Amino acid sequence: MTCDVTEAAGRTSLVEWATSQFKELNILINNAGVQRDIDFTKGIAEFLAGSNEITINLETPIVLSGLFIPHLAGKREAAIINVSSGLGFVPAARMPVYSAAKAGLHAFSMALRHQIQAVGIKVFEVVPPAVDTELNPEGRAKRGGFKVELQPGEFVAAVMKGLANDQYEIGYGMTELSIRASREGLDESFKRMNSRW
């Protein structure tokens, strides 16, 4: 089903369709997302001109989780899988709103995991590093056609292994380190990542 999950009607119709078509549906994957380069030294115009990263990357997973939880509760192997980002742990200055929204999704995943374990739903957080996808083509073009070597299949294989082992926060490469880093380590990573801003 194709729908706009940023709109209340799209969210509701998705939940109604999915739960009626698939009575034993037991997993929700919150993966829709958008990433934008936004320069606040120019004011608010860039933020207001494009897709709302807060709505898509944070509000939508929160609302969809809440809408699906009554259906998922009590299902065998029920789970919610939130796809956050390494930038939720080590923010990129060129993508401040995306980084903030993904940090919020990380916090939500932690809190929700604790809260809904009582109704038998596991909450996983997948924390990708930069992966070769179509995310933020405008920003990549501005940076001279920024290329990423990590292919989706390699990352997905690591995610599947983490899910099979009930690893609730699943990273890969740099993000695996960020998940377990100290505050000092995260600060050092932030300095390195943003040294050319």
Query: Is position 13 within any domain?
Result: no
- Domain of residue 117, residue span: 24-193
Give me the catalytic one of 5, 36, 95, 98. Answer: 98
Query: Is position 6 within any domain?
Result: no
Q: How many CB atoms lie within 10 A of CB 126?
A: 25
- b/e 66-88 (16+ beta carbons within 10 angstroms → b): ebbbebbeebeebbbbbbbbbbb
Query: Is position 19 within any domain?
Result: no
pLDDT per residue as tens, the chain (197 positions): 999 999 999 999 999 999 999 999 999 999 989 999 999 999 999 999 989 999 999 999 999 999 999 999 999 999 999 999 999 999 999 999 999 999 999 999 999 999 999 999 999 999 998 887 777 667 666 766 566 788 889 989 999 999 999 999 999 988 999 999 999 999 999 999 998 76
Query: Is position 15 within any domain?
Result: no
Please check whether residue 123 is in contact with residue 168, taking contact to mean a CB–CB distance below 8 angstroms: yes
Query: Is position 33 within any domain?
Result: yes
Q: Has this prediction a pTM greater than 0.75?
A: yes
The residue with tokens 């299902």 is 75
CATH number assigned to the domain comprising residue 124: 3.40.50.720
Q: Per residue in 89-116, pLDDT tens?
A: 999 999 999 999 999 999 999 999 999 9
How far are the Cα atoms of 33, 117, 186 from residue 53, in angstroms, in the given order? 7, 28, 23
Residue 98 appears among annotated catalytic residues:
yes
Indicate the number of domains in the chain. Answer: 1
Query: Is position 10 within any domain?
Result: no
